[in-house]
Structure 1
Amino acid sequence: MASNKIVSVALDFGTTYSGYAFSFRHDKENIITSRWTGKDYTSIKAPTSILFTAEKKFDSFGFEAEDNYAELSKNGTHKDWYLFKNFKLVLINEKKLSRDTQIRDFGGKKMAAMDVFSEGIRFLKDDFSKICSKQFLVFDDSYVQWVLTVPAIWDDAAKQFMRLAAKKAGIPDESLLLVLEPDAAALEASVSRMCEEGEKCMILDCGGGTVDVSIMKKTSKGRVDCIYRPTGGVWGGTKVDDSFQEFLIENFGVDNFKRMERHEILDVLRSFESAKKKAHRSEEIQFKIRLPLTLREDIHLLPIKECVRRDKLILSFDQVIKFFEKPVNSIVAHLQEVIEEPEMYGLKYIIMVGGFSESVILQSAVQNSFPKLCVLVAEDPGAAVLKGAVHVGHDPKIIESRRSAYTYGIESMTNFIEKYHNPMKMKIIDGKKKCSDTFIKFIEINEVIQINQTTVTKSFHPAHFGQTSVRLSVYRSTLGNPLYVTDPGCEKIGGLAVQMPDLTGEKERVVEVSISFGETELRVEAADKTTGRKYTAAFDFLGD
């Protein structure tokens, strides 16, 4: 797929931080990362913060967006502008994600999520193009294999949303790969070098928003198999920030917190972010967080006054660690559940990647909870996903297999079988007994999926004369063998449209629908077996 591309570019559009990395086909191991510099920072990733004007036009991204918004706030001219932070979680939190989903900015105003995501991706894409043109003189988009990383626990709607946002940002469909973050991280975290052939290791990818857990095994070819379905949850580093904000409200009062100006909130959050990264047990270390005047005006009336020195909030390690308790406990509890599964027999390593994995508190919790396993932290955990994704861009088949996260199927009407089907599901159609709501299974939860090979084909008939298209409802289930789409654990996730304009054979036509499960995204093809013609077919997971 990427053989005609000379450069692989990975975009890591994260909940809290984003960046990109790339390398050229002739020098794959020389991976160059984005770099953001300013008065008091140098980083390979920038905050995933995007600023729009009052007219909803893109203004700036990252540190620059936050700084510009802070200046607007100081001048009192920010109210009609839009600043978006930590908005990526909408793709997992929104129950009915659609192309028209709206999200709220830092001040509560709404904009179309698709516009916000696409402008963020466009900025990263254009920044790479600008840097590449300066360094290598000749640059052509057709030479690029774009790779966009996505959490493994995302559903199909979120993946489709990101692909559409990337397309709107100017990245052609045929030049874009979506890659699961732990898959990418496994390659950069040296699974192939650290593990012997056949050994199992757990990739614990802890980001700002989500935590993904994948179990990998090295194959005889030095490639990687994912041997357990991806699991995880929303337990990333932003949960620590949430606990800190709850602490501020509790100790300084909700009224004082609400009176804070936007630039003051940004300043406090940046100060806490710096302190959070340094958090480890030491009797000599105190954690200093800058407090705005708004929170210090009546400090002598508050019990928290003992912890305030001039413009700084001084916290001990024991106080700071409480902010980590909820996400860390959730991560450890989930790992304990996964490790108890039969498939985990022989597991030797837990490899920690992702920005939140830089936390010594999280590292210690994992190490102490699983003393029989070797817990390793990637050399540069925050960049592991980015760099691994660059490798996938050069060689998409480096991951050989994975496990299905769900049982996937389609709703269909089948012949009614006495003593097997529920009588309440029976319908008479054209004088024949039919069973409604039947779950036609394509693939089962935790089933092995061979990358670029696993395709399942099922046959369907038109329901009535003159039918030139078929729309099927796609379902997923946490059950292995659901009988009906109405069974517990079943959920409709979208539709599948098949165009079949040739009426030859009418209702006797046989339409074969083939779904490919061998990539990060589901793919579909359809064919009319009566005429031999192939038809266009497409999934729609974003609803109407």
Structure 2
Amino acid sequence: MLAMKVFTAVIQHLKGQLLETCEVKKVEVFSSDVRWVLTLPAIWSDRSKQFMRECAQQKRNMKDTPYILSAAIDFGTTFSGYAFSTQYEYKQSPLKVSNMTWTAGSGNLMSLKTSTCILFSPNGNFHSFGFDAEDKYADLLDNQKHHSWYFFRRFKMSLYEQENISRTMTIRDQNGKEMLAMKVFSSSIQFLKDHLLAKCKERGTEVFMSDIRWVLTMPAIWSDKAKQFMRESAEKAGIPGAQLVMALEAEAAALYCKYLPVSDLAVGQAGNVSIFKPGAKYMVLDMGGGTVDITVHQVEEGLQLKEIHMANGGDWGGTMVDIEFENLLTDILGPEVFNKFKREQVSDLLELQRSFETKKRCIHSASDSKITFTLPCSLLDIFEEINQGTSVEEKVANNKDYANNLTWKNDKLRMKSEIAKKLFEPSLRKILDHVTDLLQKPDVADIDAIILVGGFSECPILQSEISKRFANKRLVIPNQAGLAVLTGAVINGHELEAVTERISRLTYGVDAISTFIPGLHDPRLMMIGEDGVVHCRGVFSIHVRAGETVPVGLSCQPQQYVVMEKDQKRLPVRLYTTEDPNPIYVIEEGATSIGELIVDMPDTTKGLNRGVDVVLTFGGAEIEVKALDMHTQKEFNAYFNFLG
């Protein structure tokens, strides 16, 4: 075996153990925050010293790293969970994974995922996560002791909605108090990680952290900033970065479906036929609480997957239906009533949201019967307090939109199915129109099937409307569609090369200076170099174009960058993106700076005669970078900083 591989593995293991110890002692650091010291005998030759330095700088090759367990964390907008399997279990059956069953203290709700809620004590320390956090917060509310606590719910969407994502950004809790977003995310991941390790121990699968390949799911439509934020949150939670795989949710779901027997696929009217055969094309609609993530694949020989249209989607998930339901109650009762209910009866609000989450998965498109919702008595009490002398029945009877369509008596709200269906309209319209547009594109038009996964896809009304609109496509809905991403992510940990090609969603490049071309370049950007040559500054030097097919693991052509100062120890290169496949300048409309590529160059002995050949690798869930000395091709430490 290569000596460098052996030495590198030992150093990586010790480094991981040290970072774990830091975490146990609550010394929160990233690997990049640490000044590492490696001891060597003074009598060693310069060759030996350089050998050890390069071993320490080697990046871990995930494919060659031994592991025992693939452990996945599915961090969702509404619900989160984890699953895992050993290599032995995977080889027996890829679908053989272990899950956790979560129980909510109130409502006797049992689920294979828990609520994405987290509670911190008044001093900012982590208290609980999931259903436990909801139930504890409800108790605090009942006793009016909640004001100084921090309760966060459905906070994942902040990474989709905010453009300026940074390590120092804050998010607001239910009461408007702020906390560092990275603390909220990393504490959530740490809880799921620790819970998973405890579950492994409980079932007799005791492993060291160094034996685990961790997989963290995320939407493909997320920005590079959001992806780096999640990676650093996971590292802060104690997951070694070298052991962490980022899995795209829709792709993970496709891996799950690939292994399902045909009998476990609930298939629409086009027939019960397997779609995972070489040459087949399909679209995955991963419909979660926050986002709808859409990917189009073609099945290759060996059943590997190739992306044939860039990942896309939007914030049209199940929470849009929740918002419409709350808007309906606000419209019936009045804003003053419902806002007071949300402020003062948060425990009842949480129970209402839980019950609606279950109820919306039972609303059928073809149903003509009335739908009954059980509402908290406190909601009616607040209405009567504010509207003295008027009953809610009278309020409904006097509303022309609702008089003949719904009734409200005591804690029961009964409405015609037409009204219930309207709650889904904003989300459905976005999804149906978007998929219709996609099917007009030549590379998508001939797909064989549409696969529905994610918790929101379990709603019958959603399934029915998609089936009707796209009747000429086979509709595939796996059993337990809400677990497709989580189970698929575990499989992804075992199959790192399951996807062979992806389509770049954006054009990536850097701010460069090039030879000025009259008639092409803007004269205002012209500059004369020290060598007397006329240059153009601010040129968008392209590494990969939007819409371009990028084989996974295939590196782009190297681009060379040189230092500008003789004592410069760090070479920063600003990275830009745009949706335009043919940009000319980094300052044109639509071009955005997403951060820097940084190369550490501590040796300044060659002064200005220093530079690097930078190789970017696209096609994976994250961009990878390698920087080589332009003279010796020795690798330097290079990394992205998208978070400022």
TM norm. shorter chain > 0.5: yes
1:132 is paired with a residue whose SS is helix
Deviations 1:229-264 (A, max 9, x none): 100000000111111111122221111122222112
Q: Does 1:32 align with 2:98?
A: yes
**TM-score, length of structure 1 as denominator length:** 0.96
What is aligned with 1:172?
Answer: 240
- Distance in 2 separating the partners of 1:186 and 1:76: 46
For 1:269-308, what aligned pairs fall within 5 Å after superposition? Answer: 269-280=353-364, 281-296=366-381, 297-298=383-384, 300=391, 303-304=395-396, 307-308=407-408
SS in 2 for 1:213: strand
Structure 2 unmatched ranges of 5 or more? 1-61, 261-273, 385-389, 398-405
Matches within 5 A, 1:461-500: 461-500=562-601
* Counterpart residue number, 1:66: 134
Q: Which amino acid aligns with 2:100?
A: S
Deviation, 1:460, is 2.0
Give the deviation of 1:289 after TM superposition: 2.9
1:479 deviation in Å? 1.0
Indicate if the aligned counterparts of 1:349 and 1:374 stay in contact, CA closer than 8 A.
Answer: yes
Shift of 1:511: 2.0
Identity of aligned pairs, percent? 37
* More off after superposition, 223-232 vs 500-509: 500-509
- For the 8 Å contact 2:72–2:215, the answer to whether it is kept is yes
8 A contact 1:217–1:227 mirrored in 2: yes
Q: Which residue of 2 aligns with 1:160?
A: 228
TM-score (norm 2): 0.81
> Aligned partners of 1:439, 1:453: CA distance in 2, in Å?
22
Q: Which residue of structure 1 lines up, in the alignment, with residue 196 of structure 2?
A: 128
The answer to whether the aligner puts 1:440 opposite 2:541 as a matched pair is: yes
The CA deviation string for residues 178-233 of structure 1, in whole angstroms up to 9 with x for no partner, is 01001101111228952321111001110000111100111111111111110000
What residue number does 2:265 align with?
none
Q: Is the 8 A contact 1:413 1:437 kept in 2?
A: yes
97-106 vs 485-494, which moves further: 485-494
Would you say the 8 A contact 1:452–1:518 is kept in 2?
yes
Which residue of structure 2 lines up, in the alignment, with residue 150 of structure 1?
A: 218
Letter in 1 for 2:396: I
- CA deviation after TM superposition for structure 1 residue 291, in Å: 2.8
3-state SS of 1:26 partner: helix
One-letter code aligned to 1:316 = K
Partner of 1:530: 631
SS of residue paired to 1:106 = coil
Cα separation, 2, equivalents of 1:504 and 1:422: 38
Amino acid at match of 1:258: N
Alignment of 1:77-476 (within 5 A): 77-136=145-204, 138-190=206-258, 194-260=275-341, 261-280=345-364, 281-296=366-381, 297-298=383-384, 300=391, 303-304=395-396, 307-430=407-530, 431-476=532-577
Task: Kindly state the Cα deviation for residue 84 of structure 1 after the two structures are TM-superposed.
Answer: 0.8
Distance 1:321 1:456 in 2: 53
**Between Structure 1 and Structure 2, whose CA radius of gyration is higher?**
2
Which amino acid in 1 is paired with 2:355? Answer: S
Residue identity opposite 2:89 in structure 1: D
For the Cα contact (< 8 Å) 1:275–1:289, is it kept in 2? no
> Cα offset for 1:510?
4.0
SS in 2 for 1:76: coil
Whether 1:15 aligns to 2:116 is no
Compute the displacement of 1:466 (Å).
3.9
Paired with 1:377 and 1:137, the residues of 2 have a C-alpha distance of 32
Return the alpha-carbon distance in structure 1 between the equivalents of residues 558 and 300 of structure 2: 28
Question: How far does residue 9 in structure 1 lie from its aligned partner after superposition?
Answer: 0.7
Unaligned runs of 5+ in 1: none
Report the CA distance shift for 1:351/1:259 in structure 2 as closer, same or farther (over 3 A): same
What is the rounded CA distance, in whole Å, between the counterparts of 1:137 and 1:184 in structure 2?
Answer: 24
**Alignment length (residue pairs):** 543
Q: Partners in 1 of 2:583 and 2:507 — Cα distance? A: 9
Give the CA deviation at 1:95: 1.2
SS of match in other structure, 1:10 = strand
CA distance in 2, matches of 1:276, 1:514: 49
Contact 1:351 1:377 in 2 (8 A): yes
| 1:412-458 deviation line (CA, Å, top 9, x unaligned) | 12222222211011123324422111101001112122222334421
Tell me the secondary structure at the aligned position of residue 441 of structure 1. Answer: strand
